A and B are shown apart, each in its own frame.
Chain A
């Protein structure tokens, strides 16, 4: 790879010691010798295994739970239900005032997605825990479920989550995050062409090779050490403290070694219940997702729907863009209200458009709760936007790369969400891409700059 020092020479500090150099990874010697200690490599005498009884229904009322047969199963030490959890209803982002608390650690009265945790079984062996979990009897009254975001937003749709009261997150701006810039209808009225397209994606599982889990060891002084592969150590510490109503000083988290995360390990799911189990039994506890749980239970990237309407001129300028984005949170918020909000700021793309209107909805359905994954809230949006850009270029008979040069944001441009553009290097990146891909563009574009000099 070539480090091009001629770009931004006047603003770049020289003396770059690391960029462009190959440096050994600090953790690699542990990896190649098998010495790196992942959470599951911790083993303690007398460690119990936790298995979860999960909802077989997408939406149901729980009439009763009978754990008596499970408790009698050989090797079973403890069976936990909602009443055992000190603060059972929580939401991860309450730490940054994104409420309401809307999710149960163990289901209480209702399940809202297929796979939701209902009862936790602790046993001497994984096998005994699994067998006992199969003996827990839960009597369900199945309720109508909704799996499609637009259906969920219609009047009369089954209510997914009573803590919200409607099937969308309620922002301080109302039913959606809104960006309003210029006059989008006037922009459409003056445009040579209008193109409205709809883009959709399915949930995507991160599929890390190491499944989600933790190992908890009581320290004997009412303090607990939790070895975890969380990607969000302090979210986990603080939420566990809230859920268990324990001061953080009683919780010692050890982590940082993650066998693949990709955003799939930022939720706080396994640690609070495992620590509670260790507290109530006085024994070390291991809670590891099976591969099936990792694929079916852990949060995927949200399904999204993006509707984009653009007004474009024959000369290549986009003069108006209206976007409606839908993020499928599944049954609970987790990180999705934040993801949908990110989308609102992002949807104009890296383009300067004078008239923009954006609404993004975070929608609740009876699907597996979604959460973070690599650029969540913007990655699917970028797919939609860039496919739309190619379609617009085709519509007006213009080279798709030249079309992007015409609309690229440059330093000083005001973005639709009122952040002035600075440090944009899009023009320069596209110039290099043009050379590297041998996709030539007209000389006037190669002479452009993000500084608006020589345009």
Chain B
């Protein structure tokens, strides 16, 4: 199988890899680069566990071809904490019992981050809508919704 060179920025650092033509970004991140924070739950774009942020947009890395990501700025949950300090969303997920098995958590946090980057003070409905592409089988969603609202409040207090 022909290999294709691809170069992008992952959580602020330059990455260059050869990937098989047709390989997904999820495969490149997990199996080539070693960032296993995006998870493969369905490999068909329905569960949201593989969610990453590409150039500010929420994307499913299992449906994104790695070779289309040349020059892109990619962010994952593994790169969210800065200098060992948790991002407000991570802190809120921790404090509000928004994780159980944890498998959906990195994808949930990515979806929530894109929401808060655009809508710093979201309504509950905004949060539900933003997380609607991410499946959680453990929590029943309520603690996750609360965590995102708590993180939004923490952000706005910090800004004030």
Contacts and interface: CB of A to CB of B under 8 A. Distances in A.
B149 interface: no
A15 B115 CA distance: 44
A42 to B, nearest CB: 9
A32 interface: yes
A272 B121 CA distance: 51
B97 interface: yes
Given A32-B105, A34-B78, A24 B94 contact: yes
Interface stretch (A86-94, A106-114, A254-262, A444-452): A254-262
Interface stretch (B36-44, B53-61, B63-71, B123-131): B36-44
B5 interface: no
B42 A259 contact: no
B86 A209 contact: no
Interface in B62-98: 76-78, 80-81, 86, 89-91, 93-95, 97
B101 interface: yes
Interface residues of A, number: 31
Given A32-B86, A32-B93, A262-B137, A210 B99 contact: no
Q: Which of B30, B106, B135 has the most CB of A within 10 A?
A: B106
B10 interface: no
A33 B102 contact: no
A154 interface: no
Does more than half of chain B's interface fall in helix, strand or loop, or is it mixed? loop
B152 interface: no
A312 B15 CA distance: 74
B106 A209 contact: no
A30 B41 contact: no
A259 B76 CA distance: 19
Given A43-B31, A209-B39, A260-B137, A30 B90 contact: no
Contact of B94 (A28, A206, A260, A261): A28
A208 interface: yes
Given A25-B99, A207-B137, A34 B47 contact: no
A180 interface: no
A32 B90 contact: yes
B111 interface: no
Contact of A25 (B38, B90, B97, B106): B97
Interface in A6-33: 22, 24-25, 27-33
B52 to A, nearest CB: 11
A68 interface: no
B145 interface: no
Q: Which of A22, A36, A206, A262 has the most CB of B within 10 A?
A: A36
B101 A34 contact: no
Interface in A258-295: 258-262, 290-291
Contacts of B94: 24, 28-29, 32
A34 B80 CA distance: 9
B43 A210 contact: no
A38 interface: yes
Contacts of A210: 39, 41, 49, 101, 103
B93 A209 contact: no
Interface in A199-225: 206-211
B106 A291 contact: no
A37 interface: yes
Contacts of B148: none
B34 interface: yes
Contacts of B136: 209
15 contacts: A24-B94, A28-B93, A32-B77, A32-B109, A33-B78, A34-B77, A37-B36, A38-B39, A40-B40, A41-B30, A206-B137, A208-B137, A259-B102, A260-B138, A291-B44
Interface of A: 22, 24-25, 27-38, 40-41, 43, 206-211, 258-262, 290-291
Interface of B: 30-31, 34-44, 46-47, 49, 76-78, 80-81, 86, 89-91, 93-95, 97, 99-106, 109, 135-138
Given A32-B91, A32-B93, A32-B99, 19 more contacts: A22-B97, A25-B100, A27-B99, A28-B94, A28-B97, A30-B102, A34-B36, A34-B105, A34-B106, A37-B36, A38-B103, A207-B137, A209-B49, A209-B136, A209-B137, A210-B39, A260-B103, A260-B138, A291-B46
